[in-house]
Structure 1
């Protein structure tokens, strides 16, 4: 693949990247998996796979856009690329963090650990913060920004990958080599840390293969599409190729769906190369959605594409809403449904009246600058204050321990009384904390899977 990354001016597909509704639908399926995983983990214990699909989709779409820009101007500007990413991602994430800080401080839920989590999320290094603290595998409290780890990985790669592509001087072979090298380094690091769940799950290096696989697919499609080779791909021109791509893509989507139901965070193979292998299924699914009109039409169902269009907002806000509701005392069965309802109301409103106007330039950046400064100040000052406060939950726990008398402890030690002690009531079910690594995660997920009445929460 030594050709330059340019195409004939007669090829309209490359002069301007159109929105692919099939990919919106695929994004919608991915966000459904993630939200169900967070709200009803016993239903889709492997719903975290949706994040892997997001990684590969992002790699494909970002690279596709860069290649289209090269076609238009024979190069691409790093400053303009990063400016577009900033417009697209920062306003919503900053607003989410600011609201979290305000609510958590006002309600007395802020703690030293959560303040550090917010700082790391604002600086786009949340994954390294959680990795260093063992956050996902030894939580003492739920963090409202636990999901920011994946956004941090994407942002870090958005800084590095375009710079590497810019250095290739538009040579298709060199661009492909960049992605192949990223995949190789990522796989090597994964196997170096095989079985180390926190590292494999959170490290930018180990997860880079999933994004790079999408980028490599974009390069391959871009290189093969022009002229006669475009017919070999089936490109929306008819023929058996589109059916083969459609069947393969549908099979990959079904395989991913099956894995969301039958595997969990405790599945050991994911930490021995399995997460990287998911990228292969995602690549096949993306290829089918792009190159097979029948599959693209199936994925273009209005509900799926609508969810895909607001997926970023859904991902950002559903988790902090969910965590906030756990503090309210509302019935456990009601909390996830209320989370879902609030998310589906707020996310589209945010997209229409806040995110899109900034992204498309309706709101000038100079007008938005005071808002950006205010959001940043709230996040930084509020988080700093949070470093010096103790959450009510921690105070209550300490008080409960202090209230235990020796008789209570003796009874627990000797097993006095009934052999089956009543635990909780239907109105106020007991909550049990379990601490540990991936073994504890696997046990809690298994309990939720076998008995839906058992509601598990983790981060």
Structure 2
């Protein structure tokens, strides 16, 4: 039994996800589309469980697992095989460690693989081609667990009663469990998000992000599909098409508004935002269910049914295709080509390949196709694609060029730190004649101390050769408060040089202004401070890194010992430096090294004409 208007729910989830991935800086909260999918899956699966028990007084676990397997696994295998040949169109770095990505995707463990490797849709380096399959992992974990629980509840319900009473016990059992599991999962996300800078662990985890399934499951218990619950029967008796349609429309508008406002890196997203999206999705589902019963003579448009049918496969294809195309062409064209090709491949998968793989007949434009007719071309193509997959996996690098660059730079930096520490120890134990020096007139160690993040680390070797008398301390994911600690440690050990260059900001937190002012106030007199503005090609004006750049540009007017090295402005004028990168790092691209060093050197020349920090 197909419920009309459920297609709108699935299409809403798909459009939100695609818009988020295509236009991440403009539509920052579209990731809630996944929560719509989760809620709908929980609703549909639990409703069908209730229907099966009502019909047969039983729930067959292995049959349930079999249906889920054929719906989820074949499209995923097909998508992986078809996507990998397209990786030849882009830089080899994009298949870095692809074997583990494929294994995690096909093994439905991508969510925990991404947590372990620090992956995210907002990855700072090369985005994983199959990071989006994290949601399939969570979904599969839900199916395995919830199917087993429903089977146990069905056995207990049959043992305690029979007929309608058994069905009532089955509903009550599932209802209480969905409520308990939903509350437990959300509470784990709520408290698990506290203190995190990167929220991927609570976003990807099956334990903390399974509550939408159980919220949907609770709605499924209350409404059902054929075996309607008493609450749903009362609701539909007091409803009409206008009310049902209005419920759907209002919830849709609110979901879009939420997608426009929510942010992945905001704490409130995990302490209520995703729950609100889930509740709105549940209301939209309930409204669609009511509208179905109140529009018996109205057919769902064919285009709507088609998009709903292929939505799962479109989700599978869109992310790797977009990653590939977005590094070959302008963004709007990449989004358009990704959408068109995803729909074509998804239609081929859903209407042709999946049915014949399951032993059914495929119906295409009025023609019936069977496995016997498609056997030779399908097997031949499958073998060729499987061989190609093996070749791609075998030849894939374990580290991207940028990661190799950062790794090597980190080793050289550690060596340099050992030398610097040795010099500081010798200086500390060597007796010196004490001389009275007026406060604020101390001469500082000549040279340049550069304190930076992963952008600086990526070009560290070049900077060391092209910025005279410089000492560089850089580290990935470094924020302004961590830069402050490095500066203060060097200051206490008397290794901080006269010119202090702070190249921090891409990872700016909400307290960026407070931490910047701490650096300014606690820097000892006599030093000259150079602040390098951050650059992120994806950043909007309301990003912390952008707001930090605005703050830094204002500071020289108030503090004469501060000079701005405006990397944010200069880098934006040279997009070629970031071609094929994440729009932040350029490690390994010589033109980027040259430009970065030039910006610092120009700022140093300007700083020579400014006074040191007064006492």
- In which range does the TM-score fall when normalised by the shorter chain? 0.7 to 0.9
Q: SS in structure 1 opposite 2:208? A: helix
Residue of structure 1 in register with 2:251 after alignment: 252
Deviates more, 1:162-171 or 1:295-304: 295-304
The answer for the alignment partner of 1:322 in structure 2 is: 322
Structure with more of its chain in helix, by fraction: 1
> Deviation at 1:103?
4.2
Alignment gaps of 5+ in structure 2: 158-169, 362-369, 410-457, 471-500, 502-529, 533-562, 586-615
- Report deviation, 1:306: 2.6
Change in Cα spacing, 1:103 to 1:275, as seen in structure 2 (3 Å) is: same
Higher mean alpha-carbon deviation, 274-283 vs 207-216, is at: 274-283
User: Does the Cα contact within 8 Å between 1:168 and 1:175 map onto a contact in 2?
Assistant: yes
Asked whether the 8 Å contact 1:100–1:144 carries over to 2, the reply is no
- Indicate whether 1:307 and 2:290 are aligned: no
Say if 1:191 and 1:305 are closer, same or farther in 2 by CA, change over 3 A.
same
Does the C-alpha gap of structure 1 residues 124 and 417 become closer, same or farther in structure 2, counting only changes over 3 Å? Answer: closer
Structure 1 residues 267 and 295: alpha-carbon distance in aligned structure 2, compared to 1, 3 A threshold = farther
Q: Structure 1 length normalisation: TM-score?
A: 0.77
* Residues 382, 128 of structure 1: alpha-carbon distance in 2 compared, 3 angstrom cutoff: farther
- Mapped partners of 1:144, 1:122: distance in 2: 13
Tell me the equivalent position of 1:217: 219
Tell whether the 8 Å contact from 1:25 to 1:301 is kept in structure 2 after alignment. no
Q: Which has the higher relative contact order, 1 or 2, with Cα contacts under 8 A spaced 6 or more apart? A: 1
Q: 2: CA distance between counterparts of 1:265 and 1:430?
A: 24
CA contact (8 A) 1:98 1:375 kept: no
Given that 2:14 and 2:315 are in contact with CA atoms closer than 8 Å, whether structure 1 keeps it comes out as yes
Question: Displacement, 1:361?
Answer: 2.6
2: CA distance, partners of 1:295 / 1:261:
32
Let me know the Cα RMSD of the aligned residues.
Answer: 4.0
How many residue pairs match? The answer is 414
Contact 2:108 2:137 in 1 (8 A): yes
Which residue of 1 is the match for residue 452 of structure 2? none
In the alignment, which residue of structure 2 is the partner of 1:150?
A: 135
**Residue 12 (structure 2) aligns with:** 29
Equivalent positions of 1:283-432 (< 5 A) are 283-293=282-292, 300-328=300-328, 330-359=329-358, 361-362=360-361, 381=390, 385=394, 391=400, 401=459, 404=462, 408-409=466-467, 422-423=570-571, 428=576, 430=578
The answer (yes or no) to whether the contact 1:34–1:51 under 8 Å persists in 2 is yes
SS in 2 for 1:19: coil
**Change over 3 Å in CA distance of 1:347–1:411 after alignment to 2:** farther
Tell me the alpha carbon deviations over residues 184-215 of structure 1, each in whole angstroms, 9 at most, x when there is no partner. 22123123313342232111111111001111
Q: For residue 27 of structure 1, report the CA deviation from its aligned partner.
A: 0.5
> In structure 2, what is the Cα distance between the partners aligned to 1:311 and 1:354?
16
- The aligned counterpart of 1:10 is none
From 143, 151, 154, the counterpart of 1:166 = 151
TM-score normalized by the length of structure 2: 0.59
Q: 1:406, CA displacement in angstroms?
A: 5.3
The answer to which structure has the higher strand fraction is 2
Secondary structure (helix, strand or coil) at the match of 2:279 reads helix
Query: Structure 1: 5+ residue runs without aligned partners?
Result: 1-17, 436-459
Matched, 1:70 2:70: no
- TM-aligned CA deviation for residue 422 of structure 1: 4.3
